[in-house]
Structure 1
Amino acid sequence: PCLTLSAQDREMLDGVHGRAAQVAMGIIVRMAELQGANTLLDITQAHIDGCIYTGPACLRFARQLVEWGAQVKVPTTLNAISVDKRRWREQGIDAAFGEPAAALGDAYLEMGAQVSFTCAPYLLDSAPRLGEQIVWAESNAVVYANSVLGARTLKYPDYLDICIALTGRAPLSGCHLPGQRHASLRIELPALDELDDAFYPLLGYHVGLLCGSEIPVICGLEHAQPDLDDLKAFGAAFATTSAAPMFHIAGVTPEAPSAERALGGQAPARLLRVSAMDLLESWWELNSAEEPRVDLVSLGNPHFSFSECARLATLCAGRRKHADTALVITCGRAIHERARDAGHVATLEAFGAQFVTDTCWCMLGEPVIPPAARTLMTNSGKYAHYAPGLVGRRVHFGSLAECVDAACSGRASGRLPAWLQLGEATEEPAHV
């Protein structure tokens, strides 16, 4: 199809609005052609993932845009960057990494982006509304925006995100179109009782493995009433194992008042039934640790919400962590300020917890992860999946309450949640 451009699109392409907008529009036009889009659309906000430092080239790219006078045209938030921008030196981060990582954040701020530095922009006051056309990058943020908020975005890649923010224009394709948001896969869940918060990240991880790039509608949670933290955990784990840009949960997410509506009135291309045994197999995949000891409890992947801080403070109140076990929480600055004002930070620091802002576990290594630490524990399906490869540590995965208990005892209980206790079949498979 031939791409139709507006008069202002052509002005940007011709350099009328400066070199940065011209280069950005050139990249967008080429991407639109590759995607088969026949027009561009206006977007209301952007979230930039390209602010993560991956080497000199990404800093050079951003600085070149700044030199060309780049300024964002829509409200723009920044993802978690590679360091805690205010405290990386006191955390012992090598300056050879910390300085360019912080400088990359500064370059995007010079382009007019907000000081957000969070992988959970949906927790900010600027979160988009149902039907809003946006451009977000970062897989968990994209999935949450599409699925839970009902906003419309693709899984935008790094660097295309800032190009669109500089022009306010994006190719009209994929999930920006109502007809591209329907489910094609129906997933039926077993009847499970006594669900805890470990259920949702585990389910997201498992469902993502089944989906590939197909959008699913999940049936069987109509009466479970997952809250926004549950959906955040589900979506992040789902985005870890699936290429799909969104999910539907029948009776829960806004575009799925019923499975039939989520499917767009069509029969599903595939119908899958998940058994409790299937979920148990995924549980053991996420629980890669072979020894009970826990050297580090890592929380906040994606960034902790205010309600998670409050719940954790309740679990930790009046207790003290084990001397040999660290507990570290990552969150955005805005959430940290709210939690501090509410007294939750003081409660958690009295327990022995540490807070890290601006960055997240997918970017953190030693010395924030203690060099002597061999085994960690998390309630994040996303981090349980990534940590062995990213930081070379084995993982215990479990609920937030189990994480707190492990922080106090220095050991993971190894208990299965009630909803996974299936009799003799619950024995962990022997490690080879």
Structure 2
Amino acid sequence: MMFLTKEEEKIYNGEYGEVLETCMNLLVSLGDIYGAEKLIPISSAQVSGVSYKTIGEKGLEFLKDISSSNVKVSVPTTLNPAGMDLTNYEKLGFPKKFAKKQLEIIKCFKRMDIELGCTCTPYLSGNVPLFGSHISWAESSAVAYANSVIGARTNREGGPSALASAIIGKTPYYGYHLDENRLPTHIVEVEANITKSSDYGALGSIVGRIVKNGVPYFKFKKLDINNVSSYKSYKLKALGAALAASGGVALYHIENITPEANIVLKRIEKIEGNNCNIEKITITEDDIKNEYESLNSAECPDLICIGCPHCSLEEIKEVVDFILKNNLNKNNKFKCDLWICTSIYIKSISDRMGYTEIIENAGGKIVCDTCMVVAPIEDMDYKNIATNSGKAAKYLPNFCNSNVIYGDIIEILKKGL
């Protein structure tokens, strides 16, 4: 059984109201299941379970019950993508019935003082935890990024547990909050030349399938650590997202790059020196090529969708550069729909930079608050989706009944010419 402070016991016993009691009971039950010794304070939370497509009527009723008590979150808390652009849903053609339900969900979160940024990349929008800090995040790609690239500590929370942590301000002390669980379970020797974000997505798709919920340690044979462009943050974002979607990876390390890689390296060398079992995986050029082929199931897109996880400004700039290079404008537009999915924060900068206008003149849309996976695109006459996301390529066939055209940003944009 977990140790609880006197104050925590009061909450657990219902002395501060039914909602806090429910939240504390959820956290204690989770801690008991995983052998946590106590609860620990968190510096931030990130809550999933926002799209009406994913939580449905039962999820909406749960949120109504929680939010009706006027309980507020006790730590800075951001929200995962919703099922539609909360501002431009009518212009984009989202179903009216769906929109009504989605707005009800958003009202519930607003009552709890949760920031309505609706993004899977909170670390690009101000929710940036410190190295080693304990957090409670739920979105799988954000969890992988926070643990791996930032070096914060979170388990892969569910929507209800992250919300409970946000309200209580604490999380059970187990899993990736502990040093011993952040050590590698697999060494991945990458012989392939990984350069594009879609290469990282394909790599993550392969490795996630093999290691499942393990902790891979990547050794890139052809990666020049002095060439920062080869491992930019949005490429690591793509890697973590695909690892989490294909398997259950919440933490990975890359030799000489990610912040804990050198810390765990000594442990790896000790394991290898003692001839202990640590599985080794080799990824070749053929493996990456075959993964591209397996992720592709269509040729001509109805929709090109970039931004799963949400686009950084740098990725939007890549789209803009393509548009300008190919002289796309009001008289020469893309032949299919184009969505650039990002947060409202990044879009505001894109507006100021003139990027949004360039994209819209070429027939594209910058879509906030959502992405193709959690949006009801199957009800919007989109069947063949071109994406640069290994995560989306994994989810689209099952979640949206979609065919997939998978490739790097430039490759899939060419499909729309």
TM-score by length of 1: 0.88
The answer as to whether partners of 2:245 and 2:391 remain within 8 angstroms in 1 is yes
CA contact (8 A) 1:296 1:325 kept: yes
1:339 maps to 2:350: yes
Cross-structure match for 1:421: none
Residue of structure 1 in register with 2:240 after alignment: 235
- Count residues in correspondence: 402
Which structure has the highest helix share of the two? 2
- Spell out, residue by residue over 1:28-72, the C-alpha distance to the aligned partner (whole angstroms, 9 max, x if none): 111111111111100010000022322111111111112222210
- Residue 360 of structure 1 aligns to a residue in which SS? coil
Change (3 A) 1:160 1:258: closer
Q: What residue identity is the alignment partner of 2:301?
A: V
Q: Is the 8 A contact 1:91 1:368 kept in 2?
A: no
Greater shift after overlay, 277-286 or 329-338? 277-286
1:208 corresponds in structure 2 to 208
Supply the AA of the counterpart residue of 1:305. Answer: S
Q: Tell me, yes or no, if structure 1 residue 306 matches structure 2 residue 305.
A: no
1:84 and 2:85 matched? yes
CA distance in 2, matches of 1:232, 1:298: 16
* Residue equivalent to 1:414: none
Q: Is the 1:212–1:244 contact (alpha carbons within 8 Å) kept by the matching residues of 2?
A: yes
SS of 2:40's equivalent?
Answer: strand
Distance 2:211 2:393 in 1: 19
- 1:106–1:120 distance in 2 versus 1, CA, 3 Å: same
What does residue range 210-289 of structure 1 map to in structure 2 within 5 Å?
210-220=210-220, 222-223=223-224, 225=228, 226-257=231-262, 260-261=265-266, 263=268, 265-267=270-272, 269-289=278-298
Could you report, residue by residue, the CA deviation over 1:69-122 in whole angstroms, capped at 9, with x for unpaired residues?
221010100100112222223333233221111111110111010121101112
Amino acid at match of 2:408: S
| Alignment-derived partner of residue 400 in structure 2 | 391
Alignment pair present for 1:295 and 2:302: yes
Q: CA-atom RMSD, angstroms?
A: 1.9
Letter in 2 for 1:404: L
Structure 1 residue identity aligned to 2:201: P
Q: How many angstroms does 1:279 deviate by?
A: 1.7
Contact 2:183 2:264 in 1 (8 A): no
**Offset at residue 329 of structure 1 (A):** 1.1
Q: Compared with structure 1, are the counterparts of its residues 174 and 201 closer, same or farther at alpha carbon in structure 2 (3 Å cutoff)?
A: same
Q: Which position in structure 2 is the counterpart of 1:418?
A: none
Q: Per-residue deviation at 1:277?
A: 1.5
Q: Gaps (5+ residues) in structure 1?
A: 409-432
Q: How far apart are 1:11 and its partner, in Å?
A: 2.2
Cα gap change, 1:76 to 1:279, in 2 (>3 Å)? same
2:393 aligns to what SS in structure 1? Answer: helix
Quickly say closer, same or farther: Cα 1:259–1:67, change in 2 above 3 A: closer
Question: How far did residue 346 of structure 1 move?
Answer: 1.2
Q: How far apart are the structure 1 equivalents of 2:62 and 2:211?
A: 34
Contact 2:378 2:400 in 1 (8 A): no
Structure 1 residue matching 2:262: 3-state secondary structure: coil
- Secondary structure, counterpart of 2:404 in structure 1: strand
Letter in 2 for 1:35: Y
**8 Å contact kept, 2:255–2:262:** yes
Is contact 1:20-1:69 (8 Å) kept? no
**Helix, strand or coil for the counterpart of 1:153?**
coil
Q: Could you tell me which amino acid in structure 1 is paired with residue 47 of structure 2?
A: I
Amino acid paired to 2:375: L
Match runs of 1:397-408 below 5 Å: 397-408=406-417
Give the percent of matched residue pairs that are identical in Structure 1 and Structure 2: 27
Task: Determine helix, strand or coil for the equivalent of 2:131.
Answer: coil
- 1:324: which partner in 2? 335
In structure 2, what is the Cα distance between the partners aligned to 1:282 and 1:116?
A: 33
- In the TM superposition, residue 327 of structure 1 has moved relative to its aligned partner by 0.9
Letter in 2 for 1:204: G
Q: In structure 1, how many angstroms separate the alpha carbons of the residues matched to 2:185 and 2:177?
A: 17
What's the TM-score, normalizing by structure 2? 0.91
Structure 2 equivalent of residue 25 of structure 1 = 24
The letter for the 2-side match of 1:346 is E
Q: Which runs of 4+ in 1 moved over 4 A?
A: 320-323
3-state SS of the aligned residue for 2:133? Answer: coil
Q: Secondary structure at the match of 1:198?
A: helix
